[in-house]
Amino acid sequence: IFYHKLGTDPADDPKIYGEGCAKELSLGTSLSEDGRYMLLHVSHGWRSTDLYFRDETDPAGPAGRFRPIVEGIDAHFGGRIIGETLYALTNYQASRYRVVGIDLQNPAPANWQTLIPEADDLTIEDVAFAKGHIIVSGLKHAVAHLYVYDLHGKLQREIHLPTIGSVTGLAADLESDDFFFVFESFLIPPAIYRCSVSKDAPAQPQPEVILASAQAVDPNLVSIAQVFYPSKDGTQIPMFILKRRDLSVSDGTPHPTVLIGYGGFNVGKTPTYMPAIVPWIESGGIYASANLRGGNEYGEDWHRAGMQGNKQNVFDDFIAAGEYLISKGYTDHDHLGIWGRSNGGLLVGATLTQRPDLAKAVACGVPLLDMVRYHKFLIAYLWCSEYGNPEDPEAFKWLYAYSPYHHVHEDVSYPAIYTYTAESDTRVDPLHAKKMTALLQHVASIKAAKGPILLQVEADAGHGVGKPLHKIVAEQANMWAFLAWQLGLS
DSSP assigned state of 407? G
User: In angstroms, what is the C-alpha Rg of the chain?
Assistant: 24
Distance CA 168, CA 147 (A): 14
Q: Is 169 left (phi over 0), alpha (psi -120 to 50) or beta?
A: left
Cβ within 8 Å of residue 201, ≥6 positions away: 157, 177, 195
Cβ within 8 Å of residue 52, ≥6 positions away: 17, 39, 40, 42, 66, 67, 68, 69, 71
Neighbours of 191 (CB within 10 A): 20
Q: Note if 470 is an active site residue.
A: no
Exposure on the CB side of residue 336, measured as CA atoms within 13 A? 27
Cβ within 8 Å of residue 187, ≥6 positions away: 215, 216, 217, 219, 222, 224, 273, 278
User: Out of 48, 342, 385, 403, which one is annotated catalytic?
Assistant: 342
- Report the amino acid identity of residue 465: V
Decide: 456 and 471 in contact? Cβ < 8 Å.
Answer: no
DSSP assigned state of 191? E
Cβ within 8 Å of residue 274, ≥6 positions away: 186
Helix axes 343-354, 312-327, angle to 10 degrees: 70
Decide: 358 and 336 in contact? Cβ < 8 Å.
Answer: yes
Exposure on the CB side of residue 316, measured as CA atoms within 13 A? 15
Burial state string for 347-380 with b = 16 or more CB within 10 A and e = fewer than 16: bbbbbbbbbbebbbbbbbbbbbbbbeebbeebeb
Q: Note if 490 is an active site residue.
A: no
Distance CA 55, CA 66 (A): 8
Helix axes 343-354, 431-446, angle to 10 degrees: 20
Which of these, 54, 18, 16, lies nearest to 36 by C-alpha position?
Answer: 54
User: Out of 133, 145, 432, 463, which one is annotated catalytic?
Assistant: 463
Decide: 372 and 431 in contact? Cβ < 8 Å.
Answer: no
Phi, psi of 395 (to 5 degrees): -65, -35
DSSP assigned state of 8? S
Phi, psi of 386 (to 5 degrees): -90, -45
Neighbours of 174 (CB within 10 A): 15
Q: Among all residues, which ones are annotated catalytic?
A: 342, 463
